[in-house]
Structure 1
Amino acid sequence: MLNRRIYMAGLLILYLLAGLSFPKGMEASTSKTASVLLIYDSAAISTPKEGNIEALERVLASFGTQVTVMNYDHYEAGMLNKFNKVISVRNADDLFQLPDSYVKDSANYAGDYLHIGNQVPENIRQALQLESVSADQDTAKLEIGQLQQTAMTVKGISYLTKFKGKTYGSLSSEKLKINSPFAVMDGKYAYIPYLVKGNLSELAAAYLLKDWLTVTTSSHTYMVLDQIYPFSNLDLLNEMADRLYDAGIPFIASVQPVLSNLDYPAVQRYLETLKHVQSRNGSIIVQAPVVASTISQDITVLKSEMLAFLDALGGYGIVPLGVGSEMYWTYDQHYAANGLAYFDSSVIFPNERVLYRSQTATSKAFQSAVYTIPNAELSQYVAPGEILEPLPMDTALVYAFPEDRQKSEALITKLLADWTTFSDYKNEVHTVRTEVNEMGSRNGQLRFNGQTILLNSNKQDVNSEHAYVQEGKKSLANLFSVQNKVFIILIVTTLLLFTAFLIIGYRLYKRKYTHMGRQL
């Protein structure tokens, strides 16, 4: 009996030790990021398919996927075996020959495979039992979920007439008078016949990719106020934050960092405004700095300036929760290491002006990544008055911060009339780490170095007096002060003497003309 009690006590101790060894907080840090090889035959420059590689990269990034992008010409034997998922994009219908090393490796590849475009490999065609008809030019209608785009001009498109597996959306051909699925997946194989940047097919691909990547988490819809600068109308920003708070609309403020002169009154007013925005359910993310040129830019200061701004935010009671950047920043070693490495959450914007510093083929993946789309673009695909449901990935509807009160009033009116339910960004887990501070959020609470931040909506006035130029050392100040006093005394004495001589002269000449016979 005693031995049994000792045995049970030992098991209990081992169980408790096991529980202590694997805390719940370790789950996110030990989970392995999905790694995907994205291989393509052509970037399709100057064709309707130009940009579909970038569009695919951004959708994949929104699912927290690390992507390695490669042209078939750079493929080397054995590369496929390094990835458990492969996406092949065929943009060029006139390029039939693939490298022998790739053909050989793909025949024995056991991982998950997604094909996009035409020229489907024979083993994929057989596995999915694909049969199709094609049209060189057509007008198609694409529907998926609650989204639809009519009168979509397409070129070189294939319509599936026979297939096996789960289907996604539908493509209707005006020319061929047929209706086919937009995409199909069965087991480890999947196929998307048509993908073009800038139309609904970009979003439609996300419905299949979520299942193909085995993403099971629920998605959210956020609102982002973009283009907020230190020189923006800060009073208008304060007013908008108050009105959004009163309307119960949480939002994300994407703010431009200040990389120098953090002690200037203008910067202090900027921080004071951001602190007020934070207190009105506004989550702060730091926008990546604008890259003006890769030639003149000093590459050594990005890290120190970003860290200084993040620490300045934290010291002022402002908790940044993520970073906003164009897609290409995640494919640049310099920007990823010195600008993005402090964040585990990102809001990903499409590329506007690509200026690589040190381009790499493999992207930086984030624990939390949000896909962005301008609200005006998404509204084209949703029926008027219909409540927007969450897309497959975390998505932010982007609104540019209005330039004046009239535009602000129009935006507020539109948001109040919209039935879209926006999520609060700080309800999720986000972490920002600098060399001295750790900031973030969990379950709606902001934390700074382990302490909960109390939201304070009181705005403080900032003193505009500031010494913008430091005074030099005044080693001869006393000497110059004495000299000034001596000069002043001499000048005053001279003026007094000159005045006295004028008075005396005036009196003498007056007597002369009054008494004409008197000698001077």
Structure 2
Amino acid sequence: MYVKIKLKVTVMILLLLIGIPFSNIYASEQEPIHALLLYDGLAKGSSREGNVETMQRLLASYGIKVTQSTFDNYKKGGLAEYNKVIGIQNLDELSITNEDFINDLKIYKGDYLHIGTSIPSAVQVELNMVTNMLRDQFVKISMDQFSESRIHVKNMSYIVQAEGTFYGSIMSGNGDVRSPYGVRNDHFAYVPYYEQGNLSELAMSYVLKDWLDITRQGQTYLIFKEVYPFSDLKLLEKLADKLYDAGIPFMVSVRPVFMNVDYPAMHRYLETLKYVQSRSGSVLVNAPVVSSTASQDGLTLQTQMESFVDVLADYGIAPLGIGAEMYWSYDQQYAEYGMNFFDSSILFPNKDMRYWSRTDSSQPFASSLYSMQLDFLQQFDHNDTILQDLPMDSAITYDFSDNEVDMSKIVQTLNDSWITFADYRYGQHTVHTQANRIVSDNGLLTLNGQDVDLNDAYKNIGSEYAYTVEQEKSFAKLFNIQNNVFIVLIVVTLLIFGFLFIIGYRLYIRKYLNQRRK
């Protein structure tokens, strides 16, 4: 051991003397795994629709850089560029016909995972595997502490015989078929069934973790998104108090503000976020809403995102990552100009994709959470009273609501749940702009090297504010003089009129009395 250390130090000294910096010596160790994801189709309109996207998000949660393509578009020699390759066969009626891929796979030295039907012969030979087919049945899938019954499958392959490490199980409804959910040896792996929305989505993460050689255990976090300046901020403070009292750490993914940051409404927003931060809450910056990409400008987006991070930092708030729909990481412009300030993310399922400059390769993050809803986990049977750590880092996700009853129900559900949530601040996260560097490490938040004050006093922000700059008025002094003159004339006129009225009244009374005497 001493000899190895001494040799490493000697090498470093020699490299330094010839001008090679230490940062480049082990650069390859810091590079993320780059995997190739191949598929035959997206299976839109079928039960397998969406499984390619969930695979992309799963791989992101393991910090993997992904390049995606179809089997048909594969070019000869492509496999040699990757150590990890995944093939998803969604279309039962089609087989892999690309001869370049078939021939390259036969001599491929890396790791290959095949999912679905049309299993390449190289995979069958490597795993010494025999499969059969379930045409139309309900099956039960079991994996680790979870199980789910009555999953409807059509044309699903199952493993009759194989050599390697087995994962979970698939059992037919009548019990006559029982096979592993997946199998893996040193280089090849096979999973017969993978769909979005049932246990196979979660079961895949167990196979992936071992196949990717990931050793770090995942943790589960809690996040509330859709938080805006015009949200019910008092209710957000109450939510923070309830979760703090329950001992549940959480995160909020907040929508950025690019204009009017000096308004009291913005200051109240910032004060609320600072209060959330003081109640074991971590702050993430959510990607802005994309209404149209027609007039987008990359440098404008970069300036806006950087300015909002700086606004938070200047107010004593330490954002630790970015929240965005998954497609943002597959867009060159969004990744470069909107996400490059963060090394940590949570990628939500796609809802309204508005690509700007779509690319086939993803932006990897050192830390990325797999987003899921609590209902997704609660649909499974489980063996333990407490949720064991999942293979990947994951986040139970809720949309923040201005309905206090709904939020109270969520807090009660979380209190009654079997999940132990981790504190995001105890991970390693870095956010940097030209002006600020925010670091979270083992629970310590620092801003430009200084500890972030988590107990800063809450400030009440008044509503008095001049929302428009008062314009200089032309002839204002002249108009004021005229007004004063008119007021004087009116007052004098009223006095004269009153004097004449009194004189006339007296004359009338005198005349009336003289007539009565006669």
TM-score (norm 2): 0.91
Report how many aligned residue pairs link the two structures. Answer: 509
* Offset of residue 512 of structure 1: 3.6
- Which moved further from structure 2: 229-238 or 269-278? 229-238
Deviates more, 1:465-474 or 1:196-205: 465-474
Q: For 1:100-179, what aligned pairs fall within 5 Å after superposition?
A: 100-175=99-174, 177-179=176-178
| Distance change >3 Å, CA 417–CA 27, structure 1 → 2 | farther
Q: What is the distance in 2 between the residues matched to 1:245 and 1:295? A: 44
Are residues 246 and 18 of structure 1, via their aligned partners in 2, closer, same or farther at CA, if it must alter by over 3 Å? farther
Q: CA separation of 1:421/1:45 partners in 2, compared to 1, >3 Å: closer, same or farther? A: same
Structure 2 partner of 1:315: 314
- 3-state DSSP of counterpart to 1:156: strand
How has the CA–CA distance of structure 1 residues 254 and 114 changed in structure 2, closer, same or farther, with 3 Å as cutoff?
A: same
Deviation at 1:296, TM superposition (A): 6.7
2:420 aligned partner:
421
Deviations 1:85-108 (A, max 9, x none): 111111112223523333333333
- In 1, distance between residues paired with 2:466 and 2:15? 58
Could you tell me the percent identity over the aligned residues?
44
What is aligned with 2:47? Answer: 48
1:298 deviates by: 6.7
Query: How far off is 1:26 after superposition?
Result: 9.8
Deviation at 1:300, TM superposition (A): 5.8
Tell me what 1:463 maps to. 462
- Counterpart of 1:74 in structure 2 is 73
Helix, strand or coil for the counterpart of 2:470?
Answer: coil
Structure 1 residues 409 and 45, CA, compared in 2 at 3 Å: closer, same or farther?
A: closer
Aligned to 1:3: none
Instruction: Give the SS at the match of 1:515.
Output: helix
**What's the CA shift for 1:17?**
5.5
- Residue type of the alignment partner of 1:364: Q
More deviation in 364-373 or 465-474? 465-474
Paired AA for residue 291 in structure 1: V
**Equivalent residue letter for 1:335:** Y
- SS of the residue 1:116 aligns to: strand
Q: What corresponds to 1:89 in structure 2?
A: 88
Supply the AA of the counterpart residue of 2:313. G
* Amino acid corresponding to residue 157 of structure 1 in structure 2: M
Distance in 1, Cα, partners of 2:343 & 2:33? 15
Q: Secondary structure at 2:382's aligned position in 1? A: coil
* Alpha-carbon separation, structure 1, partners of 2:7 and 2:321: 43
How does 1:275-314 map onto structure 2 within 5 Å?
275-295=274-294, 301-314=300-313
Matched AA of 1:93: D
Q: Distance in 2 between matches of 1:250 and 1:105?
A: 48
**1:203 is aligned to 2:178:** no
CA distance, structure 2, for counterparts of residue 27 and residue 13 of structure 1: 13
Q: 1:28, 1:175 → 2: CA distance?
A: 54
Paired letter, 1:463: G
1:40-95, Cα deviation, whole Å (9 max, x unpaired):
11111111111111011010010000111112232223322222211111111222
Aligned equivalents of 2:359 and 2:493: distance in 1? 80
User: Per-residue displacement from partner, 1:383-403 (whole Å, max 9, x unpaired)?
Assistant: 387210111000111233343
Cα shift at 1:27: 7.3
Give the whole-Å Cα distance in 1 for the aligned partners of 2:27 and 2:455: 31
Shift of the 29–272 alpha-carbon distance from structure 1 to 2, 3 Å rule, reads: farther
**CA shift digits 1:273-292 (9 cap, x unpaired):** 11111111111111111223
Q: Which amino acid aligns with 1:149?
A: E
1:327-349 superposed Cα distances (whole Å, 9 cap, x missing partner): 11111122212221110000111
* Offset at residue 485 of structure 1 (A): 2.0
> What TM-score, normalized to structure 1?
0.91
CA deviation profile, 1:467-488 (whole Å, cap 9, x unmatched): 1111113453333332322232
Go from structure 1 to structure 2 and tell me whether the alpha carbon gap of 1:334 and 1:174 turns closer, same or farther (over 3 Å shift): same
Q: Name the residue aligned to 1:254.
A: 253
The residue aligned with 2:410 is: 411
Q: Look up the match of 2:241.
A: 242
Distance verdict in 2 for CA 1:272–1:90, change over 3 Å: same
Report SS of the residue matched to 1:435: coil
Q: Could you tell me which residue of structure 1 aligns to residue 503 of structure 2?
A: 504
Measured at CA, do residues 298 and 505 of structure 1 come closer, stay the same or move farther in structure 2, by a change above 3 Å?
farther
Q: In 2, distance between residues paired with 1:18 and 1:468? A: 64
Which residue identity lines up with residue 459 of structure 2 in the other structure? Q
Q: Helix, strand or coil for the counterpart of 1:73?
A: coil
Gaps of 5+ in 2: 1-5
Larger CA deviation: 364-373 vs 209-218: 209-218
**What letter matches 1:33 in structure 2?**
P
**Equivalent position of 2:264 in the other structure:** 265
Does the Cα contact within 8 Å between 1:138 and 1:175 map onto a contact in 2? Answer: no
Q: Deviations over 1:121-149 (max 9, x none)?
A: 11111111111110221100001010111
SS in 1 for 2:251: strand
Q: Specify the SS of the correspondent of 1:294.
A: coil
Aligned residue in 2 for 1:4:
none
| Alignment RMSD | 2.7
Distance 1:107 1:62 in 2: 30
Structure 1 spans left out of the alignment, 5+ residues: 1-9
2:179 corresponds in structure 1 to: 180
Distance 1:97 1:365 in 2: 29
After superposition, the Cα gap between the structure-2 partners of 1:92 and 1:340, relative to the gap in structure 1 and judged at 3 Å, is same
Whole-angstrom CA distance in 1 between matches of 2:121 and 2:373: 39
The one-letter amino acid of 2:278's match is S
1:347 aligns with 2:346: yes
Compared CA separation, residues 382 and 310, structure 1 to 2 (3 A): farther
